[in-house]
Amino acid sequence: MEWFFPKTVDEVVEHLGKEDTVLHGGGTMLLRSKLRSSGRMVDLSGVEPLKQVIMEGGTTSLGGGVTYAEAAHRLGESDPEHILVKSLGGAASTPLRNRITLGGSIMAQPFWSDLLGPLMALGAEIRLEGAHSQVCEMGEFLRSSELRSGSLVHSLRFPFHSWRTWYHREVRTAFDYAAFTLTMLYRQERGMVKDLRVVLTGTSKKVERLLSVEERLQGRDAEERDFGNLEALLPETFVDRPHGSASYLRSVAAVALERGLRTLMGGDAA
Amino acid sequence: MKGSFIVNGLPREWEFPEDMRLLDLLRREGYTEVKCGCREGMCGSCCVLLEEKLVNSCQVLAASAMNREIRTVMGLSEGEEPHPLETAFAEAGAVQCGFCTPGMILAAYCLLKENPDPSEEEIRRGLDGNYCRCTGYVKIIEAVQRGARKMREKEVQE
Amino acid sequence: MKELRQVGRSVTKVDSLSLASGKAKFTDDLLQGDELYCLLLESPHAHAEILSLDASEAEALPGVVAVFHGGNVPRVLYTSAGQGNPEPSPYDMVLFDNRVRFVGDRVALVAAETEEIAREACAKIRVEYRELPANFRPERARDPQTPRLHGDQAFMPIEELPYRPEENVASEVLLTIGDPDGAFEESDFVEEHSYSVQYASHAALEPHTSHARLDPMGRLVIHTSTQVPFHARRITAKLLEIPVATVRVIKPRIGGGFGGKQEVLLEPLVGLVTWKTRRPARLTLSRKEVFTSARTRHPMKVRLKTGFLKDGTIKALEMENLMTSGAYGPHAMTVLTVSAWKCLPLYNKVENLRFTGHTVYTNTPVGGAYRGYGATQSHFATNQQLDIIARTCGKDVLELAKSLHIKEGETSPVFEALGEGKGGVTQTITSCKLSECIDRGAEALGWYEKRDKKLRQGSWVRGVGMAICMQGTGLPRVDLGAATMKMNEGGSFNLLMGATDLGTGSDTILAQIAAEVLGISVEDIVVTSSDTDTTPFDVGAYASSTTYVSGGAVKRCAETVKEQICEVAAEMMEVPREELIFAPGGEIRHPGSDKKVSFAEVAQYTLYGGTLQQIGATGSFSGEVSPPPFTAQFADISVDCDTGKIKVHHLVTAIDCGQPINPTLAEGQVEGAVLNAMGYALYEEYRFNKKGGVTNASFWDYKVPGPMDAPKITTILVDSYEETGPYGAKSVSEVPMNGPAPAIANALYDAAGVRLYHLPFTPEKVLEALKKEQRGRAS
């Protein structure tokens, strides 16, 4: 194992061109798996451009090296209800949030990630550098294992909108990984459901947008409380976890879904 | 590999294996106040401050902490007097076996820096990565409140 | 009663500041850096014969100093249980056997220069196994076709104790009083239910760890994280076949034990390495190994049948306990006994009683001592049954409990019938404030505002439940504690005790007792504990014995020292001894003449000036009785009827622990036990795969409560006084483990009309029960 401490994105890209390169963000995912004794460990913490948090021109951009804690803190300063504040701000634990990076999480894509669901819902785009220098949609990145190899997550960005947000993490105790997460973004206009995005993570598909739920509710009267059989709209892709069986998790997800909708919908806010 | 670190305000130069964890390096070099409970980033006994941020030292590769400020619980107090948090923990009866205590105190320290007068809920959240099996957390929360008062008083005096 | 000055004060624990500052040393903090790194090779199979073991490739690796296994270590049968000699546990293990009996069982030990080399060496040990059929189910253990775990060699060192390995029975306890069958016939109601308590881990934050070296005289010195230094010394010497005098065991600060370290696990291993290689050696279990290969709570099935009258009087009680020992039997007999002995006497008015208990071998992790020690499992059952009885009879469960629990001046035949290895003792309850505990606890919880109200908030419905519990206070005529004091110039004292402080604060409270006797303060006493060379014998920290037994020894010792001081003072002042009084602050006064001397002056006189002698003494104590502490414990919970999640709002414990030596420390013991209990009530469990391997041997999936999960916890130390205990004290640390789980179960029933008999109460289990109940009501 040999360590490298680049200062620029170009230097990182140069490393990525070489064999055996391992990108080290916060290191938490690396330490969960077996560390290879060989390999070029490229530490990203000195690459300033990866730590940027930029909010301008209707877009929020977060660097791949930004930690969960930093992201939640910075976004929370202007919008305490931001979905990423809710999801990242409660993920894992205080000391782990100080190490887990957005880029690391996007690359590793653990099924329990508190990041993937919200990013899908936000319609985030990932800017990659290295072997695949491009900007791609979150969903596209998740579907392609090819895009991951030889890539650096430079940053992610999503349009700034004022959403009502709701987040559920299915855990046993407070400090626990999630069996599944449910992200809901909602906007209402003149008492009607203007825009609803629902993303489920933790199933066998890892990240799923619940389009059938969105379709059911799109354009409805926001005061209408009869949502129909929501459980029937949930996919059959739940898996058994130590938290509970697949069927239990599915039924709880339906409950969480309903509670989220009730919390979000109605009232005065536009 | 060789590297420089700043630990509790003092510069250190150490030789260590590339894949060594910060926890193991610190303990090897005598900082035994940093404890090892699980090696999984779950229990919090190994917490240190890395650039004033609370981290699990078992989840940090030493190499990635080079040239950075590291503080253990022994780096909190200035001079010979114990830090007000240490005194608060002792007085409140929040120290039973004491294994979790250094990590807890660092977590409390970080919390109080951000939030000098936290609610009970905020205290629980600030300590959410630190397990204790002895106390039920009751007196630990009291200790943090007590320590917060002491620190606010100290601020006023200074 | 004389006013107390030290006892009853919440003195800050003597080691608190050194622990908070990080300066205090735990076992691994004392490593010198020259120790061989030891690593265990563990079995991947639940049951297998080791046909061959070839360590040659491992031994040939540069940096490997030794590999120990069944082929090169003498077979000495023993038990790892940290108990007195002879232990009331089967001798069914050897250091390295030619058979493995659970996934995680020991196969070999590597000692190498570094961790890296040790790991490489472990991987190079070639083991040929012949897999044997394995059984994981305790109810199948005794079936004829179930494989036997222990063959002809294992034996029980105390012959009278039942031990039938040919049936996979590690212990049997049978007790019948009166005529239960007849009494069931005469009952208005009979309720029979089966309960179960699961595998759990102590999850002490500090993993088990030990290191050994030879001192310049060639003696084996072991530093270890143990609750039983003297047992560790004896058993290590025995296994290494060296004299006890050759071995020294020292306990530094420990990072928690809760019973998990009342076991001699690593000391013989590091001792073996050091003794054979003549080099220092260290062994620390990984967190995973602590889960799989150390000790656990004994899982237990409790079948409880109660026959009672319309007015709630219990006529007959039948308890059948099936306890899982795991692959070996440390504490197999004693935990089983305690499940009767420290539970049933609470219901002493039941005249007809049958207890049938069996501990059986299974190819699973090994049970050991765990706070509560069998009583926890039984109380889970009895307290739910009490709730059922109250509801069946339309009685207030609090009033019912108050009417039927054992009272001061009463006894129970169970005390005499059962003992831990030796016969039981008759004892009469000399202190019991349980009824007051019930009242005060109920008030603190707001019981009557919530009971039977099913207060709703959205999908959440609220309920409250209660449990009454007892435990013991030391093992009468079995536990020995001793203390030595000596006086120093200046008037301070050294207090040397074998007693083991796990963080419980025993160093402090025992110093408080000594200080109380002498009229000085804790600051005048220097405490040394748990070094087998320098401190007198003590069985160690278990059976809730430290305050009572070790405290009794300290009190006797201090009283002898006080007598000596008095004699010297009389000589110095030339007055009769009987006319002297001890004043606070280390002074002896002669009221008749205004003469006085200080402790410092007495020290000077005896060490240098006058009649030369060392003022000092050793005191020993072993109890004649084990006066139970009592708790009334309450839970206020809500359950989400749509998800099965339980939210605990408030856990209240009102405890009669006699006179608390140090109220803050006593509270701390209660609070820790209560949250631990909530953990095993709601989340903690071992998950196994089909091959018997533990799949959640990590905090990732073995969930313990964190700061955000802890509910409001209230502790009420009820005024009480136990005449046989030092300054009126009884024990405090174990009993509060027993109440929260059944209290939560009873609260769940109060809230939602469902009763769960099997721990833990995961949301899925709760939801299933709720749905079943709903369907039942609908039809």
- Residue A17 falls within a domain, yes or no? no
Q: What pLDDT, in 10s, does the model give residues A214-235?
A: 999 999 999 998 999 999 999 9
- Interatomic CA distance for residues C122 and C108, integer angstroms: 8
Mean pLDDT computed over C262-275: 98
Tell whether A269 is covered by a domain: no
Residue from the list A242, A248, A252 with its beta carbon closest to the beta carbon of C696: A242
Chain A residues in contact with B112 by the CB 8 A cut-off are none
Let me know whether A146 and A94 are in one domain: yes
Confidence of residue A251 (pLDDT cuts 50, 70, 90): very high
Q: What is the pLDDT of residues A8-35, one digit of tens each?
A: 999 999 999 998 999 999 988 888 777 7
- B90-117 residue pLDDT tens: 999 999 999 999 999 999 999 999 999 9
* Predicted confidence (pLDDT) per residue in C546-600, tens digit: 999 999 999 999 999 999 999 999 999 999 999 999 999 999 999 989 899 999 9
Q: How would residue A39 be classed by pLDDT, with cut points 50, 70 and 90?
A: confident
C23 interfacial to chain B (CB closer than 8 Å): yes
Residues B95, B152 share a domain: yes
B-C contacts at Cβ under 8 angstroms: 174
In chain C, which among 275-294 make CB contacts under 8 A with chain B? 286-287
Query: How far off is chain C from A242, nearest CA to CA, in Å?
Result: 7
CATH (domain of A217): 3.30.390.50
The pLDDT value recorded for residue C779 is 76
Q: What's the rounded mean pLDDT across residues A58-87?
A: 96
DSSP state letter for C346: G
**Which of B46, B57, B99 to mutate: most C Cβ within 10 Å?**
B99
Distances (CA, A) of B59 to A26, A58, A77, A106: 9, 36, 28, 19
Calculate mean pLDDT across residues C675-691: 98
pLDDT at residue C152 greater than cutoff 90? no
Considering chain C, tell me which residue range(s) the CATH 3.30.365.10 domain(s) occupy.
16-24+479-621, 300-475+625-778
Contacts of C454 by beta carbon, 8 Å cutoff, 6+ apart: C461, C462, C463, C750, C751, C752
Q: Does B130 touch chain C (CB under 8 A)?
A: yes
Handedness of CA C741, C743, C746, C750 (dihedral sign): negative
CATH number at residue B44: 3.10.20.30
**Interchain CB contact of A174 with C (< 8 Å):** yes
- Cα–Cα distance measured from residue A146 to residue A127, given in angstroms and rounded to the nearest whole number: 15
Min Cα separation B126/chain A (Å): 7
Q: Are residues B88 and B151 in the same domain?
A: yes
C-alpha–C-alpha distance, residues C129 and C363, integer Å: 16
Of B25, B45, B75, the residue that ends a domain is B75
CATH number of the domain located at residue range(s) C16-24+479-621 in this protein: 3.30.365.10
DSSP assignments along C627-685, one per residue: PPPEEEEEEEEEEETTT--EEEEEEEEEEE-BS-SSHHHHHHHHHHHHHHHHHHHHT--
Structural domain ending residue among the three candidates A159, A188, A216: A159
List the domain range (segments joined by +) for residue A214.
164-264
Is residue A258 domain-shared with residue A168, that is, in the same domain?
A: yes
Same domain, A192 and A104: no
Distance CA(A38)–CA(A11), nearest Å, equals: 20
Distance from CA of C37 to the nearest CA of B (A): 14
Same domain as A188, residue A121: no
Q: Which residues of chain C neighbour B91 with C-beta distances below 8 Å?
A: 12
How many Å apart are CA C722 and CA C678, to the nearest integer? 29
Kindly report, residue by residue over C157-185, the tens digit of the pLDDT: 999 999 999 999 999 999 999 999 999 99
**C-alpha angle C119/C121/C124, rounded to 5°?**
115
Chain C residues 104-143 within an 8 A CB cutoff of chain A = none
Rg (CA), chain A: 19
- CA distances, B82 to each of B94, B105, B147, C503 (Å): 16, 12, 12, 20
In this structure, the answer to whether residues B61 and B122 fall within a common structural domain is no
B20 contacts chain C (CB < 8 A): no
Asked if residue A148 and residue A84 are part of one domain, the reply reads: yes
Q: Check C205 against B99: CB less than 8 A apart.
A: yes
pLDDT of residue C421: 61
Contact C202, C259 (CB under 8 A): yes
A252 to chain C, closest Cα gap in Å: 6
Q: How many CB atoms lie within 10 A of CB C649?
A: 16
Q: Which residue range(s) make up the domain with B28?
A: 2-75
Residue B98 sits in the same domain as residue B54: no
Contact B141 C707 (CB under 8 A): yes
Partners of B34 on chain C (C-beta within 8 Å) are 22
Q: Say which of C643, C683, C708 has its CB closest to residue A255.
A: C643
| Interface membership of C504 toward B (CB under 8 Å) | yes
Q: Are B111 and B144 part of one and the same domain?
A: yes
Last residue of a domain, one of A159, A190, A208: A159
Shortest Cα distance from B31 to chain C (angstroms)? Answer: 9
Tell me the C-alpha distance between C772 and C41, whole Å.
47
HSE of C40, CA atoms in CB hemisphere, 13 A: 24
Give residue A140's pLDDT.
93
Tell whether A140 and A208 lie within a shared domain: no
Instruction: Please tell me whether residues B129 and B93 are part of one structural domain.
Output: yes
Residues B46 and B25: their CA atoms lie apart, in Å, by 12
Hey, what CATH class is C31-132+213-273 in?
Answer: alpha beta
Distance CA B154, CA A245 (A): 53
CB C512 within 8 A of CB C662: yes
pLDDT one-digit tens code per residue, C94-140: 999 999 999 999 999 999 999 999 999 999 999 999 999 999 999 99
To the nearest whole Å, the CA of C709 is away from the closest chain A CA by 6
d(CA A230, CA C205): 43
In a domain, A9, yes or no: no
Partner chains of C (3+ C-beta pairs under 8 Å): A, B
Which residues of chain A lie closer than 8 angstroms to B47, CB-CB? 95
Q: Please check whether residues B43 and B9 belong to one and the same domain.
A: yes
Domain total of chain B: 2
A134 lies in the same domain as A175:
no
In a domain, A127, yes or no: yes
Nearest CA in chain B to A35: B19
Over residues C453-475, the mean pLDDT reads: 96
Mean pLDDT of A119-134: 96
Determine how many CB atoms are found less than 10 A away from the CB of residue C347: 21
> Could you say which of B57, B75, B93 is where a domain stops?
B75
Are the beta carbons of B54 and A94 separated by less than 8 Å? yes
Mean pLDDT of A36-60: 92
- Contact C25/B136, CB-based, under 8 Å? no
Q: Which pLDDT band, with edges at 50, 70 and 90, does A268 fall under?
A: low
- Is A61 a member of any domain? yes
How many C-beta neighbours within 10 Å does residue C241 have? 9
In the CATH hierarchy, which fold is given to the domain comprising C300-475+625-778?
Aldehyde Oxidoreductase; domain 4 (3.30.365)
pLDDT value of position C424: 79
Closest CB to A96: pick one of B1, B50, B129. Answer: B129
**Angle between helical axes of C397-404 and C434-445 (0-180°, round to 10):** 160
What are the C-alpha distances in Å from C237 to residues C35, C234, C241, C338, C366? 20, 5, 6, 29, 23
Q: Please state the rounded mean pLDDT for residues C382-396.
A: 98
Write out chain C residues lying below 8 Å of B136, CB-based.
Answer: 668, 671-676, 710, 713
Two structure tokens written together for C381: 């059952």
Rg of the Cα atoms in chain B: 15
Whether residue C706 lies within 8 A of chain A, CB to CB, comes out as yes
Nearest in space to C741 (alpha carbons), one of C442, C461, C466, C340: C466
Digit-coded pLDDT (tens) for B23-43: 999 999 999 999 999 999 999
Report chain C's C-alpha Rg in angstroms. 27
Taking contacts as CB-CB distances below 8 angstroms, the residues of chain B near A73 are none
Q: Quick check: B154 pLDDT over 90?
A: no
**Residue in A26, A32, A94 closest to B126 by CB:** A94
Pull the structure tokens for residue C545: 């014995």
Q: Which of B38, B95, B124 sits opposite C13 (nearest CB)?
A: B95
Task: Indicate left, alpha or beta for A212 from its phi (over 0: left) and psi (-120 to 50: alpha).
Answer: alpha
pLDDT at C691 over 60: yes
- The reply to whether A172 and A257 lie within a common domain is yes
The answer to whether the CB atoms of A94 and B125 lie below 8 A apart is yes
The full length of chain B comes to 158
Residue A270 pLDDT? 43
Does residue A241 share a domain with residue A150?
no
Task: State whether residue A38 sits within 8 Å of chain C by CB.
Answer: no
Q: Report CB contact under 8 Å: A175, C708.
A: yes
Q: Using one digit for the tens of pLDDT, what is the confidence trace for C38-70? A: 999 999 999 999 999 999 999 999 999 999 999
Give Cα C141 to chain centroid, integer Å.
Answer: 26
* Residue C752, pLDDT score: 97
- Chain A residues touching B41 at Cβ < 8 A: 28, 31, 93, 95-96
Distance CA(C574)–CA(C564), nearest Å, equals 15
Q: Which two tokens stand for residue A6?
A: 């680049």
Instruction: Grade residue A37 by pLDDT with cuts at 50, 70 and 90.
Output: confident
Domain closes at, from B12, B47, B75: B75
B91 contact C CB<8A: yes
- What pLDDT score was predicted for residue C420? 65
Q: How many CB atoms lie within 10 A of CB C204?
A: 25
**Which string of b and e fits C552-584 if b means at least 16 CB within 10 Å?**
bbbbbbbebbbebbbbbbbebbeeeeeebebee
ipTM for the predicted complex: 0.98
Distance CA A157, CA A180 (A): 24
Same domain, B89 and B135: yes
Contact B59 A99 (CB under 8 A): yes
What is the C-alpha to C-alpha distance for residues C748 and A250, in angstroms, rounded to an integer?
Answer: 24
- Of A159, A179, A198, the position where a domain reaches its end is A159
CB spacing of A174 vs C709 below 8 angstroms: yes
Distance from CA of C759 to the nearest CA of A (A): 15
d(CA A166, CA A187): 12
Report pLDDT for B79. Answer: 82
Strands A53-56 and A59-63: antiparallel
pLDDT band at C422 (very low <50, low <70, confident <90, very high): low
Number of domains, chain A: 2
Q: Looking at the structure, do residues B90 and B49 belong to the same domain, yes or no? A: no
Sort strands A2-4 and A40-43 into parallel, antiparallel or unpaired. Answer: parallel
d(C-alpha A204, C-alpha A212), whole Å: 18
Nearest CA in chain A to B125: A94
**Torsion sign (Cα): C680, C683, C688, C694:** negative
Using CB atoms, list chains with 3+ pairs below 8 Å to chain B: A, C
Model confidence at C224, in pLDDT bands (50, 70, 90)? very high
List of chain C residues whose C-beta atoms are within 8 Å of the C-beta of residue B40: 287, 698-700
Residue B106 sits in a domain of what CATH number?
A: 1.10.150.120
Residue B110 and residue B67 share a domain: no
Question: Across chain A, what does the average pLDDT equal?
Answer: 94
Q: How far apart are CA A211 and CA A214, in angstroms?
A: 5
How distant is the Cα of B84 from the closest Cα of chain A, in angstroms?
Answer: 22
B52: β partners: none
pLDDT at A269 over 60: no
Residue C474 contacts residue C549 (beta carbons within 8 Å): yes
Instruction: Kindly report, as residue ranges, where domains of CATH 3.90.1170.50 are found in chain C.
Output: 31-132+213-273
pLDDT (mean) for C208-231:
98
